[in-house]
Structure 1
Amino acid sequence: MSSLRDKMNRLRGSSSPASPAEEAAAAVQAPEPPPAANTDHLETLSEEWSSMGVKLLHNEAGSFLMRRLVYPAGHQHGIHCLGELPSASAGLRAFHEVPIDAEQLLYLDLETTGLGVGTGNVPFMVGLAYWSGSELIVEQAVIRHPAEERAMLFYLNGKLGGYRYLVSYNGKTFDWPVMQTRFILHGYNRKLWEPLHLDFLHPSRSIWKNTLASLRLSHVEEERLGIERIDDVPGSLAPQLYFQFLADGDPEPLRGVYQHNEIDMLSLVCLSIRFGHLLNGNTEGGYQLPMPAESEELIRTGLWLEKMGHAGRAELMFEAALSCERTAAATLNMLAARDKKAGNWQRAVLLWQKAVIQSVQHGSAGLTASIELAMYYEHKLKDYDSALSYVSEALELALIDPLGRRDAKRRAEIEGLRKRRERLLRKTGRKLAE
Structure 2
Amino acid sequence: MSVRNRLDRLRRQGGAAAPSPLPLAERLARLGPARRETGVRDSARPGDAELAGRCGGECIAPGVIRLVETVAPAALHGRLALSETIRWRPADEGPAAGYGGAPLTLVDTETTGLAGGTGTLVFLLGLLRIEAGTLRLTQLLLTGFHGERAFVEAAEGELKGTASLVSYNGKAFDIPLLSARCRLTRRPDPWSGLPHLDLLHPVRRLFADRWPDCRLATAERRLLGFERVGDLPGSEAPAAWFDWVRRGDWRRLPDVARHNRWDLLSLAGLLPVLERAWRAPGEWGGSPLAVARAHLAGGRESAALALLGQARATLDAEGLLLLARIHRRRGQWREALAIWQPLAEAGHPEAVERLAKYHEHVARDFTAALRWTRRLLELQGGTPEHRRRAERLCGRLAGAAATVPVP
1:423 to 2:395 alignment: no
> Residue 162 of structure 2 corresponds to which residue in structure 1?
163
Alignment coverage as a number of residue pairs? 353
Structure 2 CA distance for aligned equivalents of residues 370 and 200 of structure 1: 39
Structure 2 CA distance for aligned equivalents of residues 240 and 368 of structure 1: 56
> Residue 288 of structure 2 corresponds to which residue in structure 1?
298
Partner deviation per Cα, 1:384-416 (whole Å, 9 max, x = no partner): 554555455556556xxxxxxxxxxxxxxx6xx
Range with bigger deviation, 147-156 or 207-216: 207-216
Q: Would you say the 8 A contact 1:113–1:123 is kept in 2?
A: yes
Q: Secondary structure, in 3 states, of the residue corresponding to 1:215?
A: coil
1:331 to 2:353 alignment: no
Superposed, 1:185-334 pairs within 5 Å as 185-189=184-188, 194-276=193-275, 292-293=282-283, 297-304=287-294, 314-322=304-312, 324=313, 326-334=314-322
Q: Secondary structure, in 3 states, of the residue corresponding to 1:119?
A: coil
Superposed, 1:12-51 pairs within 5 Å as 43-46=48-51, 50-51=53-54
Q: Would you say the 8 A contact 1:233–1:257 is kept in 2?
A: yes
Q: Secondary structure, in 3 states, of the residue corresponding to 1:155?
A: helix
Counterparts in 2 of 1:269 and 1:306: CA distance versus 1, 3 Å: farther
> Residue 145 of structure 2 corresponds to which residue in structure 1?
146
Q: Would you say the 8 A contact 1:183–1:192 is kept in 2?
A: no
Amino acid paired to 2:317? A
Counterparts in 2 of 1:278 and 1:291: CA distance versus 1, 3 Å: closer
- Shift in Å at residue 163 of structure 1? 1.1
Partner deviation per Cα, 1:77-110 (whole Å, 9 max, x = no partner): 1332111223312537977876835x41011111
Structure 2 CA distance for aligned equivalents of residues 296 and 388 of structure 1: 40
- Shift in Å at residue 158 of structure 1? 1.2
Partner deviation per Cα, 1:343-385 (whole Å, 9 max, x = no partner): 655434433445456x6xx8xxx34444444454455545455
Amino acid paired to 2:60? H
Q: Secondary structure, in 3 states, of the residue corresponding to 2:88?
A: helix
TM-score, length basis structure 1:
0.68
Structure 2 CA distance for aligned equivalents of residues 142 and 214 of structure 1: 30
- Shift in Å at residue 150 of structure 1? 1.2
Q: Secondary structure, in 3 states, of the residue corresponding to 2:117?
A: coil
Q: Alpha carbon RMSD of aligned pairs, Å?
A: 3.7
Counterparts in 2 of 1:96 and 1:276: CA distance versus 1, 3 Å: closer
- Shift in Å at residue 268 of structure 1? 0.8
> Residue 83 of structure 1 corresponds to which residue in structure 2?
83
- Shift in Å at residue 14 of structure 1? 10
Counterparts in 2 of 1:250 and 1:396: CA distance versus 1, 3 Å: farther
Q: Would you say the 8 A contact 1:72–1:134 is kept in 2?
A: no
> Residue 57 of structure 1 corresponds to which residue in structure 2?
59
Superposed, 1:88-103 pairs within 5 Å as 88-91=88-91, 100-101=100-101, 103=102
Partner deviation per Cα, 1:269-316 (whole Å, 9 max, x = no partner): 11112245578xxx7xxxxxx763378623433454566676666554
Structure 1 CA distance for aligned equivalents of residues 92 and 144 of structure 2: 38
Counterparts in 2 of 1:175 and 1:427: CA distance versus 1, 3 Å: same
Partner deviation per Cα, 1:328-352 (whole Å, 9 max, x = no partner): 2233234334445566554344334
Structure 2 gaps, min length 5: 1-40, 396-407
Q: Would you say the 8 A contact 1:391–1:420 is kept in 2?
A: no
Structure 1 gaps, min length 5: 1-12, 16-41, 284-289, 399-413
> Residue 4 of structure 1 corresponds to which residue in structure 2?
none
TM-score, length basis structure 2:
0.72
Identity across matched positions, percent: 27
Counterparts in 2 of 1:383 and 1:209: CA distance versus 1, 3 Å: farther
Counterparts in 2 of 1:43 and 1:156: CA distance versus 1, 3 Å: closer
Q: Would you say the 8 A contact 2:57–2:66 is kept in 1?
A: yes
Q: Would you say the 8 A contact 1:128–1:265 is kept in 2?
A: yes
Structure 2 CA distance for aligned equivalents of residues 355 and 295 of structure 1: 25
Q: Would you say the 8 A contact 2:65–2:140 is kept in 1?
A: yes
Range with bigger deviation, 348-357 or 130-139: 348-357
Which of 346, 350, 354 is 2:338 aligned to?
350
Q: Would you say the 8 A contact 2:106–2:267 is kept in 1?
A: yes
Q: Would you say the 8 A contact 2:349–2:379 is kept in 1?
A: yes
Structure 2 CA distance for aligned equivalents of residues 340 and 255 of structure 1: 59
Amino acid paired to 1:58? I
Range with bigger deviation, 307-316 or 255-264: 307-316
Counterparts in 2 of 1:252 and 1:14: CA distance versus 1, 3 Å: closer
